[in-house]
Structure formats: structure tokens, C-alpha cells
């Protein structure tokens, strides 16, 4: 399997590291405006391959022609968050950047599965389908996979259980309007309140945990200037599900077409992910208050999509 990474910043670079050490990927191609730095990163990674026991992939730094026939293309390039900004503040600039990137990607890898990481990730995945013509099943927003991982870790710290023994998701936008559907969360098969009651654990402050999840990325950003380990691990998890055709259920952003009575918006819901991309959008019956939160998130994403449309209409397309 050939994977191309567009953008070798902190996230793109860490994704490469995960792919080298943990998968049987045959080739990794890096494309970045700063070619010298990208080459240095790949040389550095090449010097680790004598010590790893996964497949020794071909490591390439190049331009879009080198990405030809990629099975997966991961897009991390774009304007990055600055202090005081929200992900939505990036929509106008990054919609144009991503449209131009995808026009080049499409020329060489029209059958690739796209994994969108650039923020605001859900709206840019929507741009990939609506403005670049990719089939919806082959466009995956990294969505709330990272938010869900943060949630499971925060909750595991409260109940004292390995996060892999907790089931739950963060759904909706990867951003301020995300929500936790507590009605489908459980610990070792028990609903959260029952687990805490039966095991003499202080009841969970659900509002506080949601606040911690929302603030986790921004707190990391404030302290070190970026977030890379968690999001790279989340993208790797998606790639692994594709590579091994796992049929794993992940809370990724998908373009909905009637599911949850919603159309023409990319939003994170539980999806079956396998070799062909998003194989199925799963249906969950959400509690009334959870459905209201879903609609709030949907409305916000539609507002951002309008801003993306305006930016794209004002900017010339690549090659024009």
C-alpha cells in the first residue's frame, strides 16, 4: 500500500513515524513546500529502519507526480492555528489551499482514499466531495477520533480503568459544538452511573468532562505550540483500519446522505471503516438532548460551509 502525506509539519511528520514502525506500508511519499526539511525528516526516519521489524517502506520526498497511484492521501497542509484563533477562523484560507492541493492529487491518484486532517477538518472534507468530485465513501475527515480518544482517557482517569475497557464517542463537529452521547457510553459493559455506583466511585461530572475534552487540544497548543502525538495516532488508527480491512467502527467525519435525517454536511458519526474507505454509516438512536446537540453542530458546520463557498467563489481555481 502506498501512502502520501501532503504537509510535513509536526502532524505529518509524526504520521510518517507511526507508519514506519507499526504497519506494512510499502511506500510513503512526503510532499511539502519546504522540501529540504521534508528530506531531512525522511533521512532521519530512514536511519531507524535497521531497528524496526515491520515492512521496510520506500521513503520518498517529492512533488505531486511522485504521489501517483497512492492508495491513501493524507492532507495536513494549510494555514495553522495561531493563539486566540478557533478552527473555524481558518476556513476561508484553507478551503482555497485544500481545493488547489486536491486538484493536483486528483491528477495523479484519482482512486485514492483521502484522509483530511487540515482544519476545519469537517468542512474541508465537504469541500473535497462537493468541489473536487471525490466519492463520499473515499473522503474521511479525521473528525472526532482524537476527541473520542481524549474523552476515553479523561474518563479512564476518573474511574481507574484502562481506556480500552471504556466504550464511548465524541460526535458532531471536531470543534466547539462537539458533544458526548452519554446514552451509548459504558464501562466494562455497564452504564456509567451504574458502574460508578457499584464500585464506590464518585459520580461523573459530565459537563466538566466535556469541558476538559474541548479544552484539551487548546491547552496542549498553549503549552507547546502544536498538537501532534494524539492527532497523528488518530490518523494512523484510520489508516490501519483501511490497510487491514478491519471493518472497524470509528467516529470519523462522513458526508451524510439521509443518515440522521441529514444531508450534504460532513459530520462525525460512527462509521465502519475498511479497505474501500467509509463502508457504512451506522445508525444510533440518540436521546432527545443528544439529537439537539447534533443539530446544533450540524448548523454550525453549515455556516462554515457557506464561508468556504464564498472563499472558493472569490479565488481562482488552480490552473485558471
- Residues with active-site annotation: 174
Q: Of 178, 182, 141, whose CA–CA distance to 293 is shortest? A: 178
175 is in an annotated binding site: no
**Region for 6 from its dihedrals, namely left if φ exceeds 0, alpha if ψ lies in -120 to 50, beta otherwise:** beta
10 is in an annotated binding site: yes
Residue 276 neighbours by CB distance under 10 Å = 12
9 is in an annotated binding site: yes
Instruction: Give SS3 for 177.
Output: coil
8 is in an annotated binding site: yes
199 is in an annotated binding site: no
11 is in an annotated binding site: yes
The phi and psi torsions of 316 (rounded to 5 degrees) equal -70, 140
17 is in an annotated binding site: no
Residue 215 neighbours by CB distance under 10 Å = 12
189 is in an annotated binding site: no
Kind of pairing, strands 248-257 and 263-274? antiparallel
Look-up of cell digits 512526503: 30
Instruction: Give SS3 for 317.
Output: coil
**Is the peptide bond prior to 296 cis by the omega test (within 30 degrees of 0)?**
no
205 is in an annotated binding site: no
C-alpha dihedral over 103, 127, 84, 148, to 10 degrees? -110
Binding-site residues: 7-12, 32, 94, 117-119
Binding-site residues for NAD(+): 7-12, 32, 94, 117-119
Amino acid at each position: 500500500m502506498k501512502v502520501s502525506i501532503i504537509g510535513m509539519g509536526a502532524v505529518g511528520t509524526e504520521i510518517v513515524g507511526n507508519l514506519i514502525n507499526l504497519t506494512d506500508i510499502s511506500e510513503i511519499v512526503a510532499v511539502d513546500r519546504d522540501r529540504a526539511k521534508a528530506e531531512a525528516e525522511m533521512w532521519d526516519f530512514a536511519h531507524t529502519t535497521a531497528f524496526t521489524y515491520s515492512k521496510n517502506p520506500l521513503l520518498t520526498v517529492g512533488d505531486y507526480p511522485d504521489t501517483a497511484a497512492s492508495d491513501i492521501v493524507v492532507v495536513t497542509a494549510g494555514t495553522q492555528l495561531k493563539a486566540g484563533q478557533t478552527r473555524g477562523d481558518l476556513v476561508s484560507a484553507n478551503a482555497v489551499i485544500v481545493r488547489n492541493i486536491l486538484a493536483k492529487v486528483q491528477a495523479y491518484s484519482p482512486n485514492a482514499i483521502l484522509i483530511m486532517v487540515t482544519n476545519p477538518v469537517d468542512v474541508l472534507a465537504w469541500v473535497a466531495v462537493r468541489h473536487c468530485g471525490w466519492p463520499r465513501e473515499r473522503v474521511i475527515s479525521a473528525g472526532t477520533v482524537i476527541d473520542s480518544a481524549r474523552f476515553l482517557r479523561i474518563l479512564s482517569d476518573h474511574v481507574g480503568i484502562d481506556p480500552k475497557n471504556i466504550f464511548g464517542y465524541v460526535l458532531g463537529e471536531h470543534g466547539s459544538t462537539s458533544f458526548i452521547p452519554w446514552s451509548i457510553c459504558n464501562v466494562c459493559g455497564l452504564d456509567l452511573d451504574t458502574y460508578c455506583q457499584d464500585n464506590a466511585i464518585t459520580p461523573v461530572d459530565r459537563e466538566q468532562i466535556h469541558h476538559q475534552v474541548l479544552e484539551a487540544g487548546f491547552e496542549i497548543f498553549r503549552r507547546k505550540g502544536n498538537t501532534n502525538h494524539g492527532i497523528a495516532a488518530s490518523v494512523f488508527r484510520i489508516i490501519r483500519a483501511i490497510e487491514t480491512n478491519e471493518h472497524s467502527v470509528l467516529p470519523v467525519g462522513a458526508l451524510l446522505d439521509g443518515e440522521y435525517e441529514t444531508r450534504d454536511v460532513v459530520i462525525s458519526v460512527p462509521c465502519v471503516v475498511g479497505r474501500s474507505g467509509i463502508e457504512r454509516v451506522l445508525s444510533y438512536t440518540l436521546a432527545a438532548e443528544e439529537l439537539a446537540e447534533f443539530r446544533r453542530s450540524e448548523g454550525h458546520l453549515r455556516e462554515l460551509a457557506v464561508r468556504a463557498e464564498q472563499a472558493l467563489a472569490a479565488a481562482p481555481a488552480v490552473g485558471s
